[in-house]
């Protein structure tokens, strides 16, 4: 038979971490006799993985059979384009899939199983729960004077851009694409949703370089997208207007999009942040967001492209004195009336909560309000508000809660059942460990795994990551203790009871309880000497609770039924209010802040026991970061506790130090 | 006779405001018969002024006499180098001075008098109260990524630097030098006290360009100075140390300084910010600030140069939990033990207050604690904490209070009596009106006038400036109403009762009551639900009151005798504490904030009456800035009032709106 030699596995530049695909993770496959059947770019990718693995570990890629084969990856007819069947019988493990993508995912399923893939008899049929599994990169081509190269990036510069353009050497991007393919990510957006001058040119004269990037992602099943500015017809096209109903504008987008597809045949589509935080949008022309989104959708339609239109639209020039305006209401107010108005290749991209990726928010009610619109749920893998990759904050349990939330109560479906896809803001950069904090790799890995199947347990996903990443099998329990509950730990030492936004303005790192209290951003807690929290009830507040379907509209409406962790999101209560937990609000603040900080101390002690069982550079780096996390958690504890002590005058029931 | 044609008055680039030397201000001189006798560069400057004025206004520069002369400027023997005698008798006005500087100052005295200089019979003998009348420019050569080109500059880019070096065309600098000479400024420091990499090279390879700047200032009686980094022997000189007692270091400074003086024979000396906010200093070598200052003093001594050594040294990595550290104490703690240790060509440059140019502070006790040390009092003309040249804030009354303060009580001398000089941080830039806000020119003018004679009344200085600047004589009352009390108005709507630092961190514009409360900067107010203020007493606080001589150490020690406007600087008191004014603290907060904001509204209304009587561009610009001032004052009012209402729970006695 005449089979291709396979696509070479992209080599890692010196010093770059292999993340969850280190050599040892490929040993179970690489030490065996493997056959890869089929043709096509993704099959070639699988074949290349096998070639590299057997070369490293002494196995064999064979092109005949059927006897003496440990693993066969081969096409089958039927099944979805990304689905696969994996099974073991008669001492042979098989992966079968209708298309190359499914084969690649099945292959990595076997890699994750490790030796277990070659033991016993078993069978799995798998298909992704979400067809759209996307990462948005907030990368700028030019280094932004305030935001840096990667907006809200905590892992160094951009993987894609350097020196004012797309990198000449995309070797590292290929290694990144391989990592994404291995966890089932199938779309990336290559540039920041805030589109600046140079980035606007990705659509035009920089397009050949975007095509080079798309070429690198394609063999791993990942389609490229671009963020575009709604004003591009003016700023790039030289037209006098960007009005979505203007024929010239429509023609410009059609022409421009055709050129993009000519360069990138499988171009995924556009991501658009419009009429938000200063970005241009259809409001300037008296049009609505359906007009805006459909304009781009129709340009993309002939080529199979999709518009990802962000629902993150709110008034960021609010007056803090005006308690009737509620930023949490904004997305629902803007978008729910537009259900049925969007074309079928529009995906409305909705942040999971109504504000902005806080550690704890209720679900965005938009997600339950637009049955006729394709919705993607957006989460934030980059830790903007969750410790900025200086803190261990394993977010998979958070996303697991979001995706399994049932907006219509126990009888209804979950968010994941409802969604047309999931999108995450990426957390990678040119850091040698990809994510700045070595343990933040688990968030990227876990996002991919949950996007594929939200029913996986967060615990299992974490253990899967640990097992793939660290060769020493004895580290699992300790690492699990350090990471497993770290999101809730972070929640404990930061803003309490769902109130959010007690962060330092601008950089969003570290505490500043009143930092946003008098700002135009709509991010208030209204703490006074008597109580704290935002009244978002229908009865006496902003009415935000009414944006939810039952039962949540009722559950959230009453402080007696509202979950403790969201109490201050929905209610303004006295400091002496007794929580469902039995504690008062102010004592809860003290207790959780002391506990959260002490948990970080405990995490550091457990981590210290791993010396010698973790690669030394990783060990030292995380040790140093835990020191910063402890310092910062102490600062959070003392500032938040002191703030509420000075305001409430209520001493700590346990007599601990307040300042 | 053979007299030089005079130094041409530097022409103003198109669109640049003439400030207080518009054509009409020279009319009384320029319409007369004038003789200028003598030689030398400053006499040439005077002659050039006359040449330009008579050309403009139809008078005559004559070189004979003595009959029919309206004005004679001529040398005399005796009198200080900057002193002059001006007089009018027998229908001739005379200016006589021993040296050119005195002649220049006398000439501008006549200009300021205007027609009154040519009326009646009168005689004045004048000499500056302060020998050192200096402006520090915080200009960077390179645009700093955070601080911009002029640190804390609110008037555009640098007058001196552009495109990474000294400007090729120094025409505007010459016009600036002329303005400074006209108000008696005799020293400028050309670069920021925070010395970055490029600026360090002003001492070495950029020195020829510094010499060009010095050449421009020299004919106006202004000597050039440079800010230097204490680490220059390492960073510029390539030595291994900057230890002030190291012979190689001494030799390097001697050699370097000799080269500076070779290029600039009248070089004024160095300005040094050492061991402060991250700048290097002698502490790194276990040496003290006298060792550091004397090192440079000895290098400058052979050439008549002076070291201006800043006393702004404090711990900016403080822990807000630690109430025993008091930033206000720092300068006195560091420097008072060093009295008698400084060489006689060291001037210790002391900020007027113990913190940092707040709207209201007590006097820095250093000023009364070092009788054997030459001290210069530093004030801030650039409005870092006083409205950033967006707000009308006429600071001359403030400085007048500082300079006339009697640290030893009524029987002792004033600050001005004690000081060896006054220094101000400049407020100019390449703004077409020099100072961003057109009315901020009055602060630059007033600083020069008070530096010359601190006994002038702030009211008179303001009227002098108005009269020189605006040709329409009818504007004076209205402008005086807008500007005269504006410093106290600013105080009313910002931080109350001397507590200070309720500003937005970083940019220092606009309110943020808790902005510095949990910071490392040592700038706390300790507000809780019961009270506010910093206990700096000897009895129960940080002991800062003890750094003052009597009577102030006792006056400040008791809340019963402490002046209201400094109460919260020295005492932590309950909100119900009754002020000497009869109001409670919290009601005073409310009342002053409502009043201050309303005064801004009144200022804007009065300004509006000047339409048509002020040049249109100035009128419009100030109108627009007053709108911003009103917006910002409203924000200050509402945030500060709301903060204290939420904390204290005390309603406004007059029932006005709190949020």
Taking alpha carbons only, the member of A359, A386, A384, A323 closest to residue A517 is A323
3-class secondary structure, A120: coil
Query: Is B518–A145 a contact, with Cβ atoms under 8 angstroms apart?
Result: no
Average pLDDT by stretches of 10, chain A with 659 residues: 79 96 98 96 97 97 85 93 96 97 98 97 97 98 90 97 96 98 98 94 95 98 98 95 98 98 98 94 97 98 98 94 96 97 98 98 98 98 98 98 98 96 98 98 98 98 98 95 98 97 95 96 97 98 98 98 98 98 98 98 98 96 98 98 98 97
A514, A638, A649: residue with CB nearest B529: A649
B105 has pLDDT over 50: yes
- Give the pLDDT of residue A1: 44
In eight-state DSSP terms, residue B78 is S
pLDDT digits (tens, 9 = 90+) for B554-594: 999 999 999 999 999 999 999 999 999 999 999 999 999 99
- Give the pLDDT of residue B4: 74
CA gap B642, B657 in Å, rounded: 9
Q: What is the mean pLDDT of residues B200-225?
A: 97
* Beta strand B165-166 pairing with B161-162: antiparallel
B2 has pLDDT over 70: no
Q: Are residues A203 and A256 in contact, defined by beta-carbon separation less than 8 angstroms?
A: yes
Q: Bridge partners of B95?
A: B73, B86
In the structure, what pLDDT confidence band is assigned to residue B145 with cuts at 50, 70 and 90? confident
B514, B529, B635: residue with CB nearest A514: B514
- What is the value of ipTM here, to two decimals? 0.90
Q: Does A149 touch chain B (CB under 8 A)?
A: no
Chain A interface, mutation test: which of B505, B506, B518, most A Cβ atoms within 10 Å? B518
Taking alpha carbons only, the member of A37, A61, A39, A40 closest to residue A50 is A61
Q: CA distances (Å), A21 to each of A26, B280, B532, B567, B657, in order?
A: 7, 47, 58, 65, 62
Concatenating the DSSP letter of every residue in B456-493 gives S-HHHHHHHHHHHH-S-GGGHHHHHHHHTTHHHHHHHH
3-class secondary structure, B564: helix
Taking alpha carbons only, the member of A461, A460, A439, A464 closest to residue A607 is A439
The Cα of A333 is separated from the nearest Cα of chain B by a number of Å equal to 26
Q: Does A324 touch chain B (CB under 8 A)?
A: no
- Average pLDDT over chain A reads 96
Q: Does A473 touch chain B (CB under 8 A)?
A: no
| Contact map slice: B 476-535 vs A, CB within 8 A | 511-514, 518, 527-530
The Cα of B159 is separated from the nearest Cα of chain A by a number of Å equal to 24
- Give the pLDDT of residue B1: 44
In eight-state DSSP terms, residue B576 is T
Query: Which distant-in-sequence residues (6+ apart) come within 8 Å of A279 by Cβ?
Result: A193, A194, A195, A229, A230, A273
pLDDT digits (tens, 9 = 90+) for B424-433: 999 999 999 9
Q: Which residue has the tokens 């500056």?
A: B128
Concatenating the DSSP letter of every residue in B391-440 gives S----HHHHHHHHH--TT-TTS--HHHH-SEEEEE----SSTTSSSSGGG
Q: Does A145 touch chain B (CB under 8 A)?
A: yes
| Contact map slice: B 366-425 vs A, CB within 8 A | none
Enumerate the active-site residues of A. 277, 356, 384
What dihedral angle (degrees, nearest 10) is formed by the CA atoms of B115, B118, B123, B125?
60
In the structure, what pLDDT confidence band is assigned to residue B611 with cuts at 50, 70 and 90? very high
pLDDT digits (tens, 9 = 90+) for A1-36: 446 789 999 999 999 999 999 999 999 999 999 999
- Give the pLDDT of residue A2: 47
Enumerate the active-site residues of B. 277, 356, 384
pLDDT digits (tens, 9 = 90+) for A94-125: 999 999 999 999 999 999 999 999 999 999 99
- Give the pLDDT of residue A67: 77
Q: What is the pTM of this model?
A: 0.94
pLDDT digits (tens, 9 = 90+) for A445-460: 999 999 999 999 999 9
- Give the pLDDT of residue A145: 84
Query: Which distant-in-sequence residues (6+ apart) come within 8 Å of A394 by Cβ?
Result: A439, A442, A443, A446, A458, A462, A483, A484, A486, A487
Q: Does B319 touch chain A (CB under 8 A)?
A: no
The Cα of A430 is separated from the nearest Cα of chain B by a number of Å equal to 23
């Amino acid at each position: 038979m005449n089979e291709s030699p396979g696509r070479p596995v992209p080599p890692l530049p010196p010093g770059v971490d292999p993340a969850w695909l280190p050599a040892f993770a490929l040993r179970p496959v690489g030490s065996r006799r493997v056959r890869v059947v089929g043709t096509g770019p993704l099959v070639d990718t699988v074949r290349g993985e096998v070639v590299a693995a057997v070369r490293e570990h002494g196995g064999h890629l064979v092109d005949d059979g059927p006897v003496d084969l440990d693993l066969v990856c081969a096409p089958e007819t039927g099944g979805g384009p990304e689905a696969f069947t994996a099974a073991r019988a008669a001492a042979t493990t098989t992966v079968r899939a209708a298309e190359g993508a499914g084969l690649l995912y099945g292959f990595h399923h076997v890699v994750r199983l490790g030796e277990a893939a070659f033991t016993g008899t078993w069978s799995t049929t798998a298909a992704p729960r979400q067809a759209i599994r996307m990462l948005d990169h907030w990368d700028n081509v030019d280094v932004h004077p305030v935001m840096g190269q990667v907006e809200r990036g905590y892992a160094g510069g951009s993987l894609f851009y350097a020196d004012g353009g797309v990198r000449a050497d995309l070797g590292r991007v290929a290694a990144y694409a391989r990592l994404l393919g291995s966890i089932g990510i199938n779309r990336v957006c290559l540039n920041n949703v805030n589109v600046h001058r140079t980035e606007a040119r990705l659509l035009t004269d920089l397009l050949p370089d975007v095509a080079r990037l798309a070429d690198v992602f394609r063999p791993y099943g990942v389609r490229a997208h671009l963020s575009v500015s709604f004003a591009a017809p003016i700023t790039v096209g030289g037209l006098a207007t960007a009005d979505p109903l203007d024929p010239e504008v429509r023609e410009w987008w059609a022409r421009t999009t055709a050129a993009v597809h000519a360069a990138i045949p499988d171009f995924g589509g556009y991501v658009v942040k419009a009429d938000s935080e200063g970005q241009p949008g259809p409001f300037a022309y008296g049009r609505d967001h359906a007009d805006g989104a459909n304009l781009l959708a129709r340009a993309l339609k002939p080529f199979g492209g999709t518009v990802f239109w962000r629902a993150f639209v709110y008034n960021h020039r609010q007056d803090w004195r005006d308690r009737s305006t509620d930023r949490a209401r904004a997305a629902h107010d803007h978008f729910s009336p537009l259900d049925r108005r969007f074309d079928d290749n529009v995906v409305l991209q909705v942040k999971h909560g109504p504000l902005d990726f806080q550690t704890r928010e209720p679900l965005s009610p938009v997600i339950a309000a637009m049955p006729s619109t394709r919705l993607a749920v957006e989460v934030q893998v980059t830790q903007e508000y969750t410790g900025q990759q200086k803190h261990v904050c394993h977010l998979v349990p958070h996303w697991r809660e979001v995706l399994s939330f049932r907006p219509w109560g126990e009888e209804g479906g979950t968010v994941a059942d409802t969604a047309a896809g999931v999108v995450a803001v990426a957390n990678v950069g040119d850091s040698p460990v990809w994510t700045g904090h070595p343990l933040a790799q688990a968030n990227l890995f876990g996002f991919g795994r949950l996007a594929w199947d939200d029913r996986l347990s967060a615990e299992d996903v974490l253990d899967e990551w640990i097992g793939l990443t660290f060769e020493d099998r004895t580290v699992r329990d300790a690492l699990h203790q350090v990471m497993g509950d770290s999101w809730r730990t972070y929640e404990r030492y930061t803003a309490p009871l769902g109130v959010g936004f007690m962060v330092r303005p601008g950089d969003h790192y570290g505490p500043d309880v009143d930092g946003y209290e008098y700002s135009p951003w709509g991010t208030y807690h209204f703490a006074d000497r008597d109580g704290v929290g935002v009244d978002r009830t229908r009865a006496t507040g902003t009415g935000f609770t009414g944006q939810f379907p039952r039962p949540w509209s009722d559950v959230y409406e009453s402080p007696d039924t509202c979950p403790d962790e969201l109490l201050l999101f929905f209610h303004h209560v006295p400091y002496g209010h007794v929580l469902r937990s039995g504690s008062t609000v102010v004592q809860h603040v003290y207790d959780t802040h002391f506990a959260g900080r002490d948990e970080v101390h405990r995490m550091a002690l457990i981590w210290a026991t791993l010396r010698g069982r973790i690669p030394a550079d990783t060990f030292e780096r995380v040790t140093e970061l835990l020191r910063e996390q402890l310092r910062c958690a102490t600062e959070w504890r003392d500032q938040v506790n002191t703030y509420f002590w000075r305001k409430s005058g209520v001493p700590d029931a346990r007599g601990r130090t307040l300042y």
